């Protein structure tokens, strides 16, 4: 099913093509692999982890000689030790999240294993960045999806107050925050809106480099109760559109929006429209996208057929790996907003719009 006008169409096409060639590969005899995905909040979070897992399932569906095992480890400090303890049991590890950045030594000591790290490059035990032949890291230009979310929020708010809620101030989340603020500012300057980005000082973030980045951070990706607290605080400030990039913590923000009146949420990473059902209505305005499943499936296919190459890939609109949901029935934007989002997306693809990011911050305009 096509989920988006932007990323979904090509991702679905790529998946169909992969499944077709994958079945042929299975018939011809590829390299059967056992895949392990390790997460902190489970493969059913309805967002980031689940999209990565869906990519594995796409691959497994095409290769009945391959298997997948999921491991949930909620203690962030135990994630890398869990990889080390499991490394002898599986051929390929799919590792979603910045907390897996420090697997460099494990990967280097196990060159016969393959590692797909989502949302981070990797370092060794001394913190040195490393690029290895058996590791494919995929980071995304979250600022692009955040920008589109910001434009959508500014065009849709009735109170002129909007906000972004994040989990922890990892680079990916800071990029979402800065991109969102860029999009709001762009809409204010180019589309006649007057939206304000609300930031609560008590939930401001400090990034990994010690920089104060503001925003609204729950401090965790698994704390739904805290997510609800932050969501309610922003709603009390008058916000009627909230962009939520907080993993499972974001479910608490969804609850706060459902219990309020006239508040909408912009989903993150995947199409979250089904999570927004609220009685006969729905709180999801639209969803910002980071297309992980098709990229995970592609790299597993490369491992299976022997064409895998380790690298650090940065993925964005130019590879249809970021976007926003515009499909009828999966969002509640008006036609004018969709037209403007289409315009912005094409300008992002062409490079005419470059949203602010932590890596390339030149102001929010």
pLDDT in tens, 163-204: 999 999 998 999 999 999 999 999 999 999 999 999 999 999
Alpha-carbon distance of 234 to 184, in angstroms, equals 17
Structure confidence at residue 45 (pLDDT): 83
* Closest to 165 (Cα-Cα) out of 270, 76, 235, 259: 235
Q: Which residues pair with 289 in a beta bridge?
A: 323
Contacts of 214 (CB under 8 A, 6+ apart): 177, 199, 204, 205
Q: Which parts of 41-114 fold into alpha helices (H)?
A: 48-62, 79-86, 104-109
Query: Any idea what DSSP says for residue 274?
Result: G
Q: What is the model's pTM? A: 0.84
Q: Which pLDDT belongs to residue 24?
A: 35
Query: What distance in Å separates the CA atoms of residue 52 and residue 310, rounded to the nearest whole number?
Result: 18
On whether the CB atoms of residues 95 and 299 are closer than 8 A, the answer is no
CA 229 – CA 363 distance, rounded (Å): 30
Express as a percent the part of the chain with pLDDT over 90. 83
Q: What is the pLDDT of residue 340?
A: 98
User: pLDDT digits over 45-95, tens only?
Assistant: 888 899 999 999 999 999 999 999 999 999 999 999 999 999 999 999 999
Is residue 116 within 8 A of residue 299, CB to CB? The reply is: yes
Question: How far apart (Å, rounded) are the C-alpha atoms in residues 288 and 325?
Answer: 7
Domains defined along the chain, listed by start? 7-140+292-319 (3.40.50.2300), 142-268 (3.40.50.2300)
CA distances from 48 to 60, 96, 125, 272 (A): 19, 8, 26, 11
Given this model, what pLDDT does residue 15 score? 39
**Contacts (Cβ under 8 Å, ≥6 apart) of 297:** 15, 18, 55, 56, 58, 59
Which strands, in side-by-side order, build the sheet including 241-245? Answer: 196-197, 161-166, 241-245, 264-267, 284-290, 322-324
Q: Residue 256 and residue 228: Cα distance in Å, rounded?
A: 5
Low-confidence ranges of the chain (pLDDT < 50): 1-27
Task: Give me the pLDDT at residue 361, please.
Answer: 54
């Amino acid at each position: 099913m096509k989920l988006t006008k932007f990323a979904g169409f090509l991702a679905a096409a790529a998946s169909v093509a992969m499944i077709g060639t994958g079945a042929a590969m299975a018939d011809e005899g590829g390299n059967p692999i056992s895949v392990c995905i390790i997460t902190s909040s489970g493969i059913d979070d309805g967002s980031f982890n689940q999209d990565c897992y869906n990519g594995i399932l796409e691959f497994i569906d095409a290769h009945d000689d391959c298997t997948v095992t999921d491991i949930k480890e909620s203690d962030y400090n135990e994630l890398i030790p869990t990889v080390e303890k499991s490394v002898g049991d599986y051929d390929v590890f799919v590792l979603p999240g910045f907390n897996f950045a420090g697997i460099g030594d494990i990967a280097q000591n196990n060159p016969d294993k393959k590692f797909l790290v989502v949302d981070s490059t990797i370092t060794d035990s001394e913190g040195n960045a490393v690029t290895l032949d058996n590791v494919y890291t995929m980071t995304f230009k979250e600022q692009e999806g955040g920008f589109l979310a910001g434009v959508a929020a500014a065009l849709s708010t009735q109170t002129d107050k909007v906000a972004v809620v994040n989990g922890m101030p990892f680079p990916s989340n800071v990029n979402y925050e800065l991109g969102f603020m860029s999009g709001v500012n762009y809409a204010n300057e180019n589309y006649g809106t007057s939206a304000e980005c609300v930031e609560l000082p008590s939930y401001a973030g400090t990034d990994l480099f010690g920089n104060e980045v503001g925003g609204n951070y729950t401090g965790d990706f698994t704390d739904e109760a805290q997510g609800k607290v932050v969501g309610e605080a922003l709603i009390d400030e008058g916000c009627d559109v909230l962009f939520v990039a907080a993993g499972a913590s974001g479910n608490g923000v969804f609850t706060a929006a459902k219990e309020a009146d006239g508040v909408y949420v912009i989903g993150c990473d995947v199409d979250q429209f089904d999570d927004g059902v609220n009685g006969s209505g729905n709180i999801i305005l639209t969803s910002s996208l980071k297309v992980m499943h098709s990229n995970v499936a592609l790299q597993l296919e490369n491992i299976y057929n022997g064409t895998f190459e380790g690298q650090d890939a940065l993925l964005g609109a130019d590879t249809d790996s970021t976007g926003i949901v515009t499909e009828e029935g999966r969002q509640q934007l008006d036609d004018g907003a969709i037209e403007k989002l289409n315009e912005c997306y094409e300008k992002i693809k062409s490079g005419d719009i470059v949203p602010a990011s932590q890596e390339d911050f030149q102001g929010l305009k």
